[in-house]
Chain A
Amino acid sequence: MTEYLIRRVLQSVLVIFLITLLTFLLIHAAPGGPTKVMLSPGLSPEVLEQQAKNLGLDKPIPVQYVRWIGDLLQGDLGYTFKNHIAVSALIWPRIANTFILMGAAWLVSLVIAIPWGIYNSTKVYGFSDQTASFISYLGFAMPTFWFGILLQQWLSIKLDWFPLSDMHSRGHEGDIGDLFMHLVLPVTVLALGFLASYMKYARSSMLEVLDQDYIRTARAKGVQERKVVFRHALRNALIPIITILGLDLPILVAGAALTENVFNWPGMGRWFVEMASSREYSALMAITIITAVMVVIGNLVADILYAVVDPRVKLGKQGGKAA
């Protein structure tokens, strides 16, 4: 297991390095640049060139990359070009904000989706199952931003039950109750989307297990249905769900740009879009690195959990299951 972990970590480092290289090249291949998107009157090409020079953007791309990776190895994520603010000072608060939002939405959706999906697998095509299907389709089909605007119009502007947007009311920073009220609408929107897929996974995974020979055997032996479901089937049914959860881990930091926009949530998704449109290379690279690390960790966690819940899987020299 230890050897496996070390190997996986080393592989991951290589993968992340390649990702950064590729991303760096792609970002710089995009037309425009941090200074060029700032056209304004009187900003002649000479002025733009001078600004780029003042920011070190005139150096060849390989030189810029080496400098960037050198800074990264010293734990320095660099500075924004436009206003020379440390990327680390900007990124961590946003990751925290996104984590609060996405974490809450994720938890809410799991708490509802997994038990409900499992219950529905035992009562296929019953009223509860049909209702869940309807909600799933709604979750898949409804654009989040539209649903968000709908909730805002109805529950915030019309009924005034919840705040319209932002993370906190002015002067209530750090007030948990106020934060909770601000979370209700965006979490509802996001959780509906997660709910749809997790419920489907839980239901179909459980159905598949319940169709196995050993379950039939257990039932034939007269084991209580409750025991069949919870003791024999559940653990195996959770395996694919856990894999999916591991793979979804990066959304906890990547955020959801559209929902964050509608609710004016100061998170990563929205910030990423802003940084991309203003060609803030350092910020984009920082986001890339963090997201890549999360993807790698998510994969690793999924593999390890897989081994934990499924004794047939051994993490050894042959490597884990590819997730």
Chain B
Amino acid sequence: MTKKRNWWSILLIVSLIGILFTGCSTNNTANTPNATAESTAPAESAAPEASAPAADAPVDGGTLVLSSFSDIVNINPLLIGDTSSGDIANFVFAQIYDLDRAGNVTAEPWSLAAELPEISADGLTYTVKLKDNIKWSDGQPITADDVVYTVETAKNPETGSPLISQYDKVKTVEKVDDHTVKFTMNQVYAPFLYALCQAIVPAHVLKDVAPKEIQTNPYGTDPAKTVTSGPWKWTAWKQGESHTLDANPDYWGEVKPHISQLVYKIYADQNTEVQAILKGDTDHISAIPVTQVEAAKADGDIAIIQKPGAQYEYLGFNFDANNFKDKYGLFEGQKTRQAIAHALNRQGMVDNILKGVGALMNAPFLPDTWADPGDAAVNYDYNAETAKKLLAEDGWVAGTDGILTKDGHRFSFELQYNAGNSRREQVAAVIQQNLKDVGIEVTPKAIDFASWIDQNVTPGKFQAVLLAWSLNNPDPDAESIFSSKYFPPAGQNAGWYKNEKLDQLWVDGYSTVDQDKRKEIYKEVGKEISTDLPYVFLYQYGQAIGTGPRVHWAEEDAPEPSLGYGQFFHAIKWWVTD
């Protein structure tokens, strides 16, 4: 999971863009205030077009030049919290399990595990079998000790690892033998399977480092001291300029990488990145800003893949009256929130701002995934008249200046978003206009990302926010952003939303591993949450991925925008030609 430059994830992960953005973690949502001006377009599910016919057989060798607009922080899997670090880690570390194109957990030839885990009938123990030929880049074997060390270190609060929440429901992790690890859970927790899509760290390198010194240890920031497990090795880092990854000559996997060298170049911003791929200086860009997609298409040499990604934007309400004038919460009435949902022209946002590449959502589950509640969730069509009617039913009447009032309070609120995000800036303007049409005054306010998260989002001090969640794993559980167990400042339910029925449904949803039962529960969640509206769910969006003419893959290995790090899906099988 990671955050794009400016950050990303709050809970699930902001994982995409880059600017922000995936990995596998138990938490399935991240808040992603993208600090950079990322603007992206999700697409309808167009089949990815391969950049070139893959008729030719793959060739070995060559250099693939990738780009990013932010440098890494630390690629130690225990500490990864930003997209760029996740990108590099993705190439140099093997994970216990990986995801297939549909988002299912699987043991691939490049995964550390030999087969899917054995889950006990009561759902409380997971037994993982590792391959017996896996080894670190320094030649040491990778064993159960490494898995146990990684999980225990992540669970230790002194480490300060973002993975702590991923393993907080693990009671014990034990070594059964050199290649077998047993996880025992405190409770049945279905999303845990995704927490096993995780890279591990070498116990023989780090076991003598005190947990609170892991952050300042050179493992993860010095290529010479970072022992890895994947198809490529991290050979050089010129800070702020580039990373060089070379194929690992001693790689243990049956499937070897075709590409002998990856260069990860760092640019100042996305526009500069786009120029570089147009010029042919780079071969791959993870996110083309929506304003530049046409220019990239016009180039003719760049293959563009546009498909919705695992993230959605929302208008979040705050239910803590302390944030409002005279402590009069403006969003208390359910009908008021439903009116706002009707007042917003969401399809217009998708058509005009996202250039048609986006999909409307009514619940926190991505369209076309197994948990998508479909028609069970209430769909709010764009209808100002319905909105006005609902507002009137809720007691709002027009004041002398045309703005609605109730109990002597004007319906006027501040909508916060992060400065520099051009998509959000445009969407905020549309929200302002749409709500003005029904008598609600909105004042959009752009705030520097770091300040905003620190001063407003984390402590839950705002009236309304325009923000997004990037879902870093395909599990639908989103308890940590909607349950009243997770109020600020310790949790990610930043709007202080409380709904006891939903609180229970989230728990029911992860307390069984039977997918059919879960599906029913999430259908109920979709119905309840779309009626009660802690957020107005706006749309799913994505990033346009671009690749130059040198890059090739077979169709089954094409990038998969719906997955975190899906822009590099199966990169081990890609090849380059000159």
A interface residues, Cβ below 8 angstroms from B? 30-33, 36-48, 50-51, 53-55, 79, 82-85, 89-90, 93-94, 152, 156-157, 163-166, 170, 260-262, 264, 266, 270-271, 274, 277-279
Q: Tally the A-B contacts, defined by beta carbons under 8 Å.
A: 180
Q: Flag if B3 contacts A261 (CB, 8 Å).
A: no
**Cβ-based interface call for B198 (8 A):** no
Q: Flag if A31 contacts B455 (CB, 8 Å).
A: yes
**Cβ-based interface call for B298 (8 A):** no
Distance (Å) between the CB of B379 and the closest chain A CB?
28
Which chain A residue has the least Cβ–Cβ distance from B273?
A264
Q: Flag if B29 contacts A41 (CB, 8 Å).
A: yes
Q: Flag if B276 contacts A165 (CB, 8 Å).
A: yes
Q: Flag if B12 contacts A39 (CB, 8 Å).
A: no
Question: With a CB–CB cut-off of 8 A, which chain B residues contact A38?
Answer: 3, 7, 73, 81-82
Q: Which 5 A-B pairs have the closest CB atoms?
A: A32-B450, A261-B268, A41-B30, A42-B165, A31-B451
Q: Flag if B11 contacts A41 (CB, 8 Å).
A: yes
Q: Flag if A42 contacts B215 (CB, 8 Å).
A: no
Q: Is the interface of B mostly helix, strand, loop or mixed?
A: loop
A50 to B12, CA, bound (A): 20
Q: Flag if B455 contacts A45 (CB, 8 Å).
A: no
A41, A42, A90, A270: which contacts B239 (Cβ < 8 A)?
A90
A47-B272 contact given A55-B215, A83-B74, CB 8 Å threshold: no
Q: Flag if A45 contacts B73 (CB, 8 Å).
A: no
A41 to B458, CA, bound (A): 12
Q: Flag if A42 contacts B11 (CB, 8 Å).
A: yes
**Cβ-based interface call for B529 (8 A):** no
Q: Flag if B240 contacts A43 (CB, 8 Å).
A: no
Q: Flag if A43 contacts B276 (CB, 8 Å).
A: no
Q: Flag if B6 contacts A37 (CB, 8 Å).
A: yes
Q: Flag if B160 contacts A40 (CB, 8 Å).
A: no
Q: Flag if B14 contacts A40 (CB, 8 Å).
A: yes
**Cβ-based interface call for B35 (8 A):** yes
Question: With a CB–CB cut-off of 8 A, which chain A residues contact B166?
Answer: 42
Distance (Å) between the CB of B498 and the closest chain A CB?
19
List 10 A-B pairs, Cβ < 8 Å: A30-B451, A36-B454, A40-B3, A41-B13, A41-B492, A44-B491, A79-B216, A164-B279, A261-B268, A271-B240
Q: Flag if B449 contacts A44 (CB, 8 Å).
A: no
Question: With a CB–CB cut-off of 8 A, which chain A residues contact B29?
Answer: 41
Within 8 A of A (CB), among B439-477: 448-451, 453-455, 457-458, 472
Q: Flag if A39 contacts B31 (CB, 8 Å).
A: yes
Distance (Å) between the CB of A55 and the closest chain B CB?
7
Q: Flag if A262 contacts B268 (CB, 8 Å).
A: yes
Distance (Å) between the CB of B136 and the closest chain A CB?
22
Question: With a CB–CB cut-off of 8 A, which chain A residues contact B269?
Answer: 261
From B11, B65, B275, name the one whose CB has the most chain A CB atoms within 10 angstroms: B275
Q: Flag if A40 contacts B1 (CB, 8 Å).
A: yes
**Cβ-based interface call for B490 (8 A):** yes
Distance (Å) between the CB of A257 and the closest chain B CB?
9
A79 to B222, CA, bound (A): 14
Q: Flag if A41 contacts B25 (CB, 8 Å).
A: yes
From A90, A94, A164, A271, name the one whose CB has the most chain B CB atoms within 10 angstroms: A164
Apart from the given pairs A48-B160, A274-B71, 12 other A-B contacts in the complex at a CB distance below 8 Å: A32-B450, A37-B7, A39-B3, A40-B9, A40-B81, A43-B81, A83-B220, A85-B221, A163-B281, A264-B272, A270-B268, A279-B450
Which chain A residue has the least Cβ–Cβ distance from B72?
A83
Q: Flag if B490 contacts A45 (CB, 8 Å).
A: yes
Distance (Å) between the CB of B244 and the closest chain A CB?
10
Q: Flag if B213 contacts A36 (CB, 8 Å).
A: no
A36 to B81, CA, bound (A): 11
B interface residues, Cβ below 8 angstroms from A? 1-3, 6-14, 25-31, 33, 35, 65, 71-74, 81-82, 157-166, 212-218, 220-221, 238-241, 263, 267-269, 272, 275-276, 278-279, 281, 448-451, 453-455, 457-458, 472, 489-492
A177 to B240, CA, bound (A): 23
Q: Flag if B490 contacts A41 (CB, 8 Å).
A: no
A44, A54, A156, A260: which contacts B216 (Cβ < 8 A)?
A54
A94 to B3, CA, bound (A): 26
Which chain A residue has the least Cβ–Cβ distance from B469?
A41
Which chain A residue has the least Cβ–Cβ distance from B455?
A31
Q: Flag if A37 contacts B450 (CB, 8 Å).
A: yes
Q: Flag if B82 contacts A40 (CB, 8 Å).
A: yes
Question: With a CB–CB cut-off of 8 A, which chain A residues contact B162?
Answer: 40-43, 47
A249 to B505, CA, bound (A): 65
Which chain A residue has the least Cβ–Cβ distance from B471?
A41
A157-B275 contact given A41-B30, A83-B73, CB 8 Å threshold: yes
A41 to B564, CA, bound (A): 13
A42, A54, A163: which contacts B164 (Cβ < 8 A)?
A42
Question: With a CB–CB cut-off of 8 A, which chain A residues contact B239?
Answer: 85, 89-90, 93
A108 to B158, CA, bound (A): 55
Q: Flag if A277 contacts B449 (CB, 8 Å).
A: yes
Question: With a CB–CB cut-off of 8 A, which chain A residues contact B213?
Answer: 54
Question: With a CB–CB cut-off of 8 A, which chain B residues contact A278?
Answer: 450
A266-B241 contact given A40-B1, A54-B215, A279-B450, CB 8 Å threshold: yes
Distance (Å) between the CB of A176 and the closest chain B CB?
19
Which chain A residue has the least Cβ–Cβ distance from B166?
A42
Distance (Å) between the CB of B24 and the closest chain A CB?
11
Which chain A residue has the least Cβ–Cβ distance from B70?
A274
Question: With a CB–CB cut-off of 8 A, which chain A residues contact B74?
Answer: 82-83
Question: With a CB–CB cut-off of 8 A, which chain B residues contact A54?
Answer: 158, 160, 212-216
Question: With a CB–CB cut-off of 8 A, which chain B residues contact A157?
Answer: 275, 278-279
B72, B163, B272: which contacts A165 (Cβ < 8 A)?
B272
Which chain B residue has the least Cβ–Cβ distance from A265?
B268
Question: With a CB–CB cut-off of 8 A, which chain B residues contact A43?
Answer: 9-10, 81, 162
A264 to B281, CA, bound (A): 12
A93 to B450, CA, bound (A): 27
A44, A84, A166, A260: which contacts B218 (Cβ < 8 A)?
A84
Q: Flag if A50 contacts B450 (CB, 8 Å).
A: no
